[in-house]
Amino acid sequence: MGDDDADKGTPENPEIGIATKTRAKPKKPSQYRVLMLNDDYTPMEFVVMVLKRFFRMDLDEATQVMLQVHQRGVGVCGVYPYEVAETKVNQVMDFAKQNQHPLQCTLEKA
Ligand code: TYC
């Protein structure tokens, strides 16, 4: 057996070896949009506070996004890898519940 066959096993014991094939096109980790949904009860100031606290927005940006959600029903808080997006959704939902607001936040693949 020549050197080229070193990782191909033997006729009695084939397919032994280490898979070394790499993807031609490595995939980037998927990104997810965190979406904020409108409701009739959550105070505007609370939504602005959430956007500042969990999405690191300044007052201007947070106010714009809050108004977009208020007027259009939905708005994008940010785009993150799945686990970060999921954590942000949970943080927002927990914080809203603690404050007895019905604010809803969700994620979708970007
Ligand atoms: N619609 C709410 C109000 O009039 C404000 C609001 C904005 C609520 C954005 C949720 O994601 C939201 N008080």
Are 75 and 35 in contact by the 8 Å Cβ rule? The answer is yes
Q: Is 105 in the pocket of ligand 1 (CB under 6 A)?
A: no
Are 47 and 102 in contact by the 8 Å Cβ rule? The answer is no
Q: Residue whose CA is closest, atom 13 of ligand 1?
A: 43
- Which residue did the predictor score with more confidence, 109 or 16? 109
E strands, 18-73, in order: 31-37
Q: Residue whose CA is closest, atom 4 of ligand 1?
A: 40
pLDDT at 18: 58
Q: Is 66 in the pocket of ligand 1 (CB under 6 A)?
A: yes
pLDDT at 2: 36
For the cut 60, the answer to whether the pLDDT of residue 58 exceeds it is: yes
Name 52's Cβ contacts closer than 8 Å, sequence gap at least 6. Answer: 58, 59, 62
Q: Is 85 in the pocket of ligand 1 (CB under 6 A)?
A: no
